[in-house]
Copies of this chain bind each other. A is one copy, B any other.
C-alpha cells in the first residue's frame, strides 16, 4: 500500500516492476476482450475464452474487471464526473447551461470520443458493441447517467444553496439528458460509416439548438400554432 510517490501519473515511468506488469496485464486482457467481442459479439464470447486468449486464468480477468460488462464499459467510467467538474471550475457568473454548452462544443471540436465523434477504429468498435448489446446499452446510458446526474445536482446545490434540491436535480437531469441525446446521435452517424470531420458541423448545430432548447424551455412545444 506504499505508493512510491515519485513520478506523476505519467504512463509507466518509475512505477516499479509489479505495477508495470499489472498495467500490462490489464491492457492485454482488455485488448483481447475487445478484439474477441468485436469479432463475434459480446454474448458469444465467454470470459473463459478471453482468459485463455490473454493467457491468464479466469479469476485474473475478474481480478482486473469486476464484471464482464466492465471489460467494455470500464474505460468510459472515468468521464462520469466531467459535467460536475465543469460546473465546479467554471466562472460563477456564467450560467450552468452556457458552461456545459461551451464545454460540450469544445469537446466536439476536439473530437473527444466521449462526444461520440471519433475516427479511431477501437473507439468505433466499442460504440458498435454497446449499441448491439442490449445489456451494455442499458448500463452505458443508464448507469452513467444516474451517477453523473447525482454528482451534477450535488455540485449545483453546493454552489448555490439558495436553490432547492428539486430544481437542482431537475436542472441536472435536463442538462445531462441533452448531452446523452446529442452523443447518441453522433454515435449513430459514426456507426453509419461517416467521418468525424463530416459530422462535426451538424453536430455543432445540433448542440446549439439542443442547449438553446434547455435554456429557453419547451414553451408551447407540441401545440398546434394558429
Contact = CB atoms under 8 A, between A and B. Distances in A.
Interface string A167-193: 101110111011011000100000000
A213 interface: yes
A85 interface: no
Interface string A118-148: 0000000000000000000111011101100
Contacts of A217: 213-219
A26 to B, nearest CB: 24
How many copies make up the complex? 2
A65 B72 CA distance: 28
A17 interface: no
Contact of A173 (B96, B99, B178, B223): B178
A97 B173 contact: no
A142 B137 CA distance: 10
Contacts of A216: 216-217, 219
Given A143-B142, A181-B166, A171 B214 contact: no
Interface residues of A, number: 49
A92 interface: yes
Given A206-B166, A223-B94, A175 B218 contact: yes
Which applies to chain A's interface (DSSP): helix, strand, loop or mixed?
helix
Interface string A55-90: 000000000000000000000000000000001000
24 contacts: A93-B224, A94-B222, A95-B220, A97-B218, A98-B220, A138-B138, A138-B142, A138-B146, A141-B142, A141-B146, A142-B145, A156-B222, A159-B222, A160-B222, A160-B224, A166-B181, A167-B213, A171-B221, A173-B177, A173-B178, A174-B214, A174-B218, A214-B217, A217-B218
Interface of A: 87, 92-99, 137-139, 141-143, 145-146, 156, 159-160, 163, 166-167, 169-171, 173-175, 177-178, 180-181, 185, 206, 209-210, 213-224
Closest 7 CB pairs of A and B: A142-B142, A96-B222, A217-B217, A173-B177, A95-B220, A95-B223, A216-B217
